[in-house]
Amino acid sequence: MRLISIPILLVSTFLLSCGGGQSQIDKIKAQQVKKAPEPKSLAEAEKNWESDHGIGPIKAFTLPTEIDQVLAASGKETYEAMCTACHKAEEKFIGPAPKGILSRRTPAWIMNMILNPDEMVKKNPIAKQLLMKFNGSPMANQNLTEDQARSVLEYFRTL
């Protein structure tokens, strides 16, 4: 077996190095690495906030122009029960104030942060910097359903 497989290996290595296929892949990999330099501050990470939809179950979506007041009222209840231990609507507390959040985060990013904070603070550039800014105290996963997270987002629009 050995005697047969070594020549095969040699021939295939030779073919690969001639084709240049490998170096092409290396070039693409190098470009991908170059494209995404790690932001050094929250302000730098936030420069791309409009195209950042976060990581998690929610894909990019657009909010309807009208605020749904019924949905917002149910979101307010959830927020008061699950979030006020760490968040105050209008001022910084253990976490940031949600007032005006839609002028610095996309709707999908906000919902992914609520539904999938552990992965967000590990992998998302804005969430990572936010965690550093808040001295490593992480956003808690409160196990909301997608519907609950959507209603809290609607409540945030009324602040």
Residues near ligand HEC (CB under 6 A) are 79, 82-83, 85-87, 94-96, 98, 101, 105, 110, 113-114, 121, 127, 130-131, 134, 137-140, 142, 144, 152
Q: 68 vs 96, which CB is nearer to ligand HEC?
A: 96
Q: 26 vs 80, which CB is nearer to ligand HEC?
A: 80
Residue 103 CA to residue 67 CA, distance in Å, equals 15
Q: How far is the CB of 59 from ligand HEC (least distance, A)?
A: 17
Q: How far is the CB of 109 from ligand HEC (least distance, A)?
A: 8
Burial 7-31 (b: 16+ CB within 10 A, else e): eeeeeeeeeeeeeeeeeeeeeeeee
CA neighbor of 147 nearest in space, from 75, 98, 99, 76: 75
Q: How far is the CB of 37 from ligand HEC (least distance, A)?
A: 21
Cα–Cα distance list, 68 to 84, 89, 98 (Å): 22, 19, 18
Q: How far is the CB of 62 from ligand HEC (least distance, A)?
A: 18
Q: 32 vs 82, which CB is nearer to ligand HEC?
A: 82
CA 73 vs. chain centroid, Å, equals 26
